[in-house]
Chain A
Amino acid sequence: MRITLRVWRQKNADAKGKMEKYKLDDVEEDMSFLEMLDVLNEKLVLADEDPISFDHDCREGICGSCAMVINGTPHGPQKNTTTCQLHMRHFKDGDTIDVEPWRARAFPVIKDLVTDRSAFDQIIQAGGYVSVNTGSAPEAHATPVDKVSADDAFDAATCIGCGACVAACPNGSSMLFTSAKVTHLGLLPQGQPERQTRAISMLAKQDELDFGGCTNVGACAEVCPKGIPLASISRLNHDVLGATLTGARAD
C-alpha cells in the first residue's frame, strides 16, 4: 500500500509545531500502525532526519502508553482499539492519514506525539486506592463479593489510563477516567469506607488541575479503547451527591 502521512512535528514543549508530510510506498496490511511508523523512522534516521517521537511500550493495548489522534480521532478509526493494536488493513492504498498528539490543556506536548499525562497520576494520588497497608489484609474469602459486582468492578478497572477520553472531550475533561476508578472501587466491599471521600477528593483534584468540566457530550466513551461506559460518570456524580448529603469531607 502507498500511504501519505501528515504528522505533527514539534521539537520541544516551547517550540511551535507543524504538520509534516511523509510518503511511504511499502506499507503492508499486517503491519500495526506503530510498525508503520517504525519503518518511517528507520528511513528518517538514515536520511539524517530526526525520527518521530511517540510513546509506546507493551504494543498489546494494555499499558496505555501509545496515544495518537489519527484522522481526528484519538486511537483512530477502529472501536475499542488502542493505537498500537490498530493494523494497516483498516486503511486503503493511497490514503492520507493525519497523526497528531493528544490535544488537551492538562496534557502539554513534550515532543512530536509525546505528551505529559502525569496529571492522571495526581488524580489517583488524591484517592484512587483502598487505604490498606501491606500485611494488614484479612483472609481473602472473609468477604465474598457477588459475581455481578465483581464483574462490573472489573469492567471499570480495565481503564488503561491512556487519556483518549480527555483528548476527545471538547472541554478536555477527565471525568471518564476518574469515574472509572471511582466505579471500580465503589462497587467492591473493600472500597466502601472511603467511597464518598474518594469521589470528592478525586473530583476536587481534577478540577484543580487543567482539566475542563463535564457537560455530558459523551465523546469520551466513544473513543475509549476499553469501552468504559458513560454510566460510570453518573456513578461518580451519585457518590459526590451522596457525600454532599452526608457531609463527608475530603481532608
Chain B
Amino acid sequence: MSELQQEPTSVQGEGRWLLGDPIADDRAPDSPVGDRWSDRKFSARLVNPANRRKMTAIIVGTGLAGGAAAATLGEAGYHVKSFCFQDSPRRAHSIAAQGGINAAKNYRNDGDSIHRLFYDTVKGGDFRSRESNVHRLAEVSLNIIDQCVAQGVPFAREYSGLLDTRSFGGTQVSRTFYARGQTGQQLLIGAYSALERQIAAGTVEMHPRTEMLDLIVADGRARGIVTRSILTGRIETHLADVVVLCTGGYGNVYYLSTNAKGSNVTAAWRAHKRGALFANPCYTQIHPTCIPVSGEYQSKLTLMSESLRNDGRVWVPKERGDSRPPNSIPEEERDYYLERQYPAFGNLVPRDIASRAAKNMCDAEQGVGPGGLGVYLDFKDAIGRLGRHAVEAKYGNLFEMYQRITGDDPYEVPMRIYPAIHYTMGGLWVDYDLRSTIPGLFVGGEANFSDHGANRLGASALMQGLADGYFVLPTTVPNYLADGPFDPIDESHPAVVEAVEATKGRIDKLLSANGNRTVDSFHRELGQLIWDQCGMARSKEGLEKALDRLPSLREEFWRDVKIVGTGDGFNQSLEKAGRVADFLELGELMCTDALHREESCGGHFRVEHQTEDGEAQRDDENFAYVAAWEYGADKPGGKPILHKEDLEFSYVHPSQRSYK
C-alpha cells in the first residue's frame, strides 16, 4: 500500500488523530453485484498441484474461519501450519455459538432469496458494509449448508427428514438453520474433524497451546509469526509464504463479555502495529439477552440465544421501581415495550435496537433485579400456546443453562436478562480478497471487519466464518501464492531477529514490573471504562474522558502489574498480561474511532445524534465510509491516522432503518 506512505494531511479532533489518504477495495470486479464472485473466482490464478506442497500457509486460529480454511487448503495440497492457544483446535470460541446459521435456501418458500439475505444484511448493518462482500456472503451461504450436512453436522430436522429452520432478529423470513442451542459446537466439530483428517493426512501441522505474539514482515511481505509455547514458554518463529489470521473478535476488551475467557486481540493488534489497518474498531455489538451480573467476582457473562426472542416476550413493570415478583404483576401492569414500540418486528427487532430499548427502560427505573439492571423474558404465553414439551424441545438446554447459573426455573419464573457485549464488527481492514494492507497477510472470520457493517444480524457470524474459511480464502490465498514460492528467509533475517527480540523484551518487561496489582484488576478497570464510555451509548464528553484516562491506565499497568513466576513455563498470569496490554492500546483506538464518528449507526450510538423518538441518526452525507486506522504512535505526529474507504450503495438504497 504505497499510497499510505505519504504524510498525513491534517490534524483532526483537537489533535487526537490525523487524516491520511483514502483507500479503496480494488479486488471486487466491476460486474453487476450478482456476478462479482463468479467473475473473481474465474480471474483468480491457480497453483499447479505439484507446486502446492512446496508452499507453506500459516493459519492462526482454529475457529470456524481458521479451522475451515486450514482443512480446505490442506485438502488442496498446501503445506498448512495451524495454531491455536487452546489445548485442542476443537475448543476455539466458535464452539459456544448457540442459535444458528443463516442461509438463503428458501426451503420454506417464504420469499427468501440470495438477494433478500443480501438486502437484509446490508440494511441490518445500517448501510456501513461493502455491497460486494455481503452479496458474496449471501451466495456462498447455500454451499455452507450443503458442506456441513455432508460432514455429518446434525442440524435440526422435521418429521419429513428435511432441515428445519427458525427466524432470527432483523428478518421476516425463516432462514436460520440450527442444531438445538449448540449450532456453533456442531459446525465447529464439522470443521475440526475435517481439520483432524488433514492432520492425519499430513497436510496440516497442528500447533495447539501456541500463542502468536508477533507478525514477521520481511521485505514488505508477511512471512511468518513469532509464537510462545504455552507449555514451555519457548519463543519460536514459524516462516511461511502467506499468513492468515482467523483469531476472532476483541469483545473481551470490556472484561465482561459473552466471549470465552481467552478470546483476545493480540494477533490482530500485533499485525496492526506492523502495518495492517484496523477498521471501524468502535462497531461493537451489544447482545440484548444475556444473564445479568450477579456480583463483583463475575468473570464473564452468559448469552441466552437470540432465538429465545422467537417465543419469549420481553417486558418490564409499568410502575417504576415495582419490586413485586414477576408472576404477581398482573398483565395490564406490564409494559411489553418492544411490541409496543416496534409493532412490525416486536420482540424480533435487531440486536442494537433491543439492547438500547432495554437500557432505556432501566434508565427510566423500570428495570428489575439487583441494581435494576434487568428486564424480563417471559415464556408463559409460549408454554400455554405450544405446551411445555415443545418449548423444551426447542430451548431445553438454554433453560437448563439459565437455571444452573441463576438457580431460577424459567419454566416457572420469567428469565431476567440484560444486554452484554457479544461481537465486534470492527477488525483488520481487508479488501474483497480478504487481504489486509500488508501483502501476504489475509484475515478471516470475526477478526476482519468486512461484512456486517455497523451491526451484525443474528446467525450471520457463523455464516461469515465458514464462508471465509471454506470458500473465500481457499480461492484468494492461492491467487496470492501463484506468485510464490517467495525467496526463502531464515531465522537470521533482520526482520525475524527484530520480531523475536521485541517479543522477548515485552515478556521480560511484564515480568520485571513486579508491582502491586493483578492483571485482572487492570482488566476490570479497563473494561468498566470502555463499557461506560464506549458501550451502549457514547458521548463526546465520555469518550474524551476515557481518552484522557487510558494513557495513564496503560502507564500504571506497565509499572504496577504483578505477575508471579517466570516466562519459561506454564504461566497463565503472563498470558493474560500480554493480552491485557494489547487491549489497553486497542481501547484507545476504539474511543478515538467512536469520537470521530459524529453520527449514530448500528451498534454505535452517539447520544448527540438521535432522532426525536430516540432512534439512531445516521449521517450518510459525511460518514458513509469505512474508517480504517493506521497505527500512528511510532510515526511523525504520534497519532492514529484515518484512511477512509467510501462506501457506495448501488443496489440497496440507504434509508433510515425502520422496524416499526
Contact surface of A with B, Cβ cutoff 8 Å: 12, 28-32, 34-36, 38-39, 42, 44-46, 48-51, 53, 55-65, 78, 80-81, 85, 87, 89, 110-111, 114, 116-118, 120-121, 124-126, 128-141, 143-147, 150-151, 153-154, 157-158, 160-161, 184-185, 188, 190-191
Contact = CB atoms under 8 A, between A and B. Distances in A.
Contacts of B564: 44-45, 48-51
- Minimum-distance CB pairs A-B, first 9: A144-B161, A137-B150, A129-B193, A154-B154, A125-B200, A137-B146, A134-B72, A140-B149, A30-B294
14 contacts: A42-B518, A42-B520, A57-B93, A59-B260, A62-B95, A63-B86, A64-B90, A65-B87, A85-B404, A85-B405, A134-B68, A147-B158, A153-B154, A160-B185
B197 A154 contact: no
Nearest to B303: A60
A67 B359 CA distance: 37
B152 A190 contact: yes
A161 B160 contact: no
Interface string B292-328: 0011011110100000000000000000000000000
B42 interface: no
Interface string B77-99: 00000000011111101011000
B558 to A, nearest CB: 17
B298 A87 contact: no
Given A129-B196, A145-B157, A190 B151 contact: yes
B105 A38 contact: no
B136 to A, nearest CB: 16
Contacts of B521: 42
B212 interface: no
Interface stretch (B109-117, B500-508, B568-576, B598-606): B568-576
Contact of A184 (B75, B152, B157, B297): B152
Contacts of B194: 129, 132, 134
| Interface size grouping (class) on chain B | 35 or more
A128 B199 CA distance: 12
A189 to B, nearest CB: 9
Given A34-B299, A58-B96, A51 B573 contact: yes
Contact of B404 (A55, A87, A136, A160): A87
Given A58-B93, A114-B570, A130 B150 contact: yes
A126 B297 contact: no
B154 A188 contact: yes
B474 interface: yes
A81 B200 contact: no
A184 B295 CA distance: 40
A67 to B, nearest CB: 10
Given A51-B573, A62-B182, A35 B105 contact: no
Contacts of B297: 28, 31, 35-36, 38-39
B299 A35 contact: yes
B90 A59 contact: no
Contact of A118 (B68, B185, B208, B404): B208
B247 to A, nearest CB: 14
B572 A157 contact: no
A45 B152 contact: no
Contact of B193 (A124, A134, A140, A146): A124
A150 B565 contact: no
Contacts of B158: 147
Given A125-B199, A137-B143, A154 B180 contact: yes
Nearest to B158: A147
A38 B185 contact: no
A137 B197 contact: no
Residue with the highest number of chain B CB atoms closer than 10 Å, among A31, A38, A134, A190: A134
B145 interface: yes
Contact of A55 (B87, B179, B196): B87
B38 interface: no
A128 B195 CA distance: 11
Contacts of B199: 121, 125
A30 B295 contact: yes
Contacts of B154: 150-151, 153-154, 157, 184, 188
Interface in B569-619: 569-570, 572-573
B589 to A, nearest CB: 26
B572 A53 contact: yes
Contact of A45 (B148, B518, B570): B518
Nearest to A39: B297
B407 interface: yes
A37 to B, nearest CB: 10
Contacts of A48: 564
Residue with the highest number of chain A CB atoms closer than 10 Å, among B87, B151, B400: B87
Contacts of A39: 297
B88 A125 contact: no
A50 B564 CA distance: 6
A120 B149 contact: no
B159 A134 contact: no
A81 B404 CA distance: 8
B161 A146 contact: yes
B75 A134 contact: yes
Interface in B455-499: 470-471, 474
Contact of B405 (A87, A121, A125): A87
A55 B261 CA distance: 11
A121 B261 CA distance: 22
B91 A65 contact: yes
B570 A53 contact: yes
B84 to A, nearest CB: 10
A131 B71 CA distance: 12
B200 A126 contact: yes
B553 interface: no
Given A51-B573, A58-B260, A132 B299 contact: no
A59 B401 contact: no
Contact of B151 (A46, A53, A129, A138): A129
B189 interface: yes
Given A34-B299, A134-B68, A57 B91 contact: yes
Contacts of B299: 32, 34-35, 38, 59
Given A58-B95, A114-B570, A190 B162 contact: no
Residue with the highest number of chain B CB atoms closer than 10 Å, among A36, A129, A185: A129
Contacts of B407: 29-30, 87, 89
B107 A141 contact: yes
Given A57-B262, A154-B180, A136 B295 contact: no
Given A153-B152, A154-B156, 7 more contacts: A35-B299, A58-B261, A125-B199, A134-B194, A140-B145, A140-B163, A161-B90
Contacts of B90: 64, 121, 161
B95 A63 contact: yes
B185 A62 contact: yes
Nearest to B181: A62
B656 interface: no
Contact of A110 (B75, B162, B163, B231): B231
Contacts of A29: 407
Contacts of B12: none
Nearest to A49: B564
